[in-house]
Amino acid sequence: DRASAATAPITDGALADGTAVPLLANLGKPEGAAEAVALGAEGVGLFRTEFLFLSANQAPTVEQQRESYTQLLAAFPGKKVVVRVLDAGADKPLAFLNDAHEENPALGLRGIRALRASEDILREQLTALAQADAATAADLWVMAPMVATVEETTYFTALARDYGIKTAGVMVEVPSSALLADRVLKHADFASIGTNDLTQYTLAADRLLGSVAGFQDPWHPAVLRLIREVGAAGRALGKPVGICGEAAADPLLAVVLVGLGATSLSMAPTALADVRATLLQHTLDDARVIAEAALSADDAAGARSAAQAAAAHEN
């Protein structure tokens, strides 16, 4: 429980059988790094770069970006830091990049689509990231948001490598790339599943719209089945599959995600302690059994209670 998790020693994320599950931080600004380290983050699984762009009416310069990325990477020497290139559009609109008149912005020119349409911004971001990488000792991974096709995957990873980025991957947050994960992962060094958008697009329910908020539940077995596809592809190809959506911060769902093949979990730093404590209560075999129970449910509530029953049985 929360009280005992808060006082438990900070160890690296692991299951009861010793299987390592690195626990990483989601960060929105480099200033959050110190707190993440204090709470035991083993690195960063999602660094959202939107903050650099959101308050501006034009893109920040390469120098401004290099300074921010260097500040972030310097806080994690020897550790993995996954930076996401700009995810503009839909819930994160940018006046100078997005068309405010799209009728369905979540289905519009967002994420990697918007960056391709303004490729200078992407090239500058990769330039600044490569410079920050050269100046620091972190293990920099860079990924693209909203990748829906194999072609977008090859476009992004090839471009990132041109700029000297050694580890280039994609976010899986659109059902098409989850279903084609075996093809997508052939061209990417890793995948990171964004469960917030993956849930939105799987259930066809706007994540910002209160009237359909009930659909925004990553326990939904349709979402879990898509995640299983990505986990299986990662295992077959020997490529890491992280989770960086809110789902990873739900301790029992974190166990399910590991059972589905996730190899690392990234979350708000304040969620790390509870997830760390819960993972330690289950082996990998348990996690697979618990995941199997959730996958066979009819709906999100059913998946949650099936997982709870399976977890109680395993203990």
Nearer to Mg ion, 110 or 276 (CB): 110
Q: Which does 125 bind (CB under 5 to 8 A by kind): Mg ion, ligand PEP, none?
A: none
Nearer to ligand PEP, 194 or 231 (CB): 194
Q: How far does the chain reach from its first CA to its final CA, in angstroms?
A: 15
Q: Letter for the amino acid at 52?
A: L
In DSSP notation, 254-296 reads HHHHHHTT--EEEE-GGGHHHHHHHHTT--HHHHHHHHHHHHT
Residues that bind Mg ion (CB under 5 A): 173, 194, 197
Q: Which of 83, 144, 170, 244 is catalytic?
A: 244
Residues that bind ligand PEP (CB under 6 A): 46, 48, 87, 173, 194-197, 244-245
Nearest to 42 by CA among 274, 267, 223, 282: 267
Question: Is 244 a residue of the active site?
Answer: yes
Tell the smallest beta-carbon distance from residue 192 to ligand PEP (Å): 8
Tell the smallest beta-carbon distance from residue 83 to ligand PEP (Å): 13
Among positive and negative, which fits the CA dihedral 243, 199, 254, 257? negative
In DSSP notation, 102-121 reads -SSGGGSS-THHHHHHTHHH
Q: Which does 244 bind (CB under 5 to 8 A by kind): Mg ion, ligand PEP, none?
A: ligand PEP
Q: Which does 286 bind (CB under 5 to 8 A by kind): ligand PEP, Mg ion, none?
A: none
* Paired residues of 83 in beta bridges: 47, 142
Q: Which does 152 bind (CB under 5 to 8 A by kind): ligand PEP, Mg ion, none?
A: none
Nearest to 203 by CA among 228, 230, 231, 225: 225
Tell the smallest beta-carbon distance from residue 54 to Mg ion (Å): 15
**C-alpha 34: how far from its chain's center?**
20
> Is 84 one of the annotated binding-site residues?
yes
Tell the smallest beta-carbon distance from residue 77 to ligand PEP (Å): 25
The set of catalytic residues is 244
Binding residues: 48, 84, 173, 196-197, 207
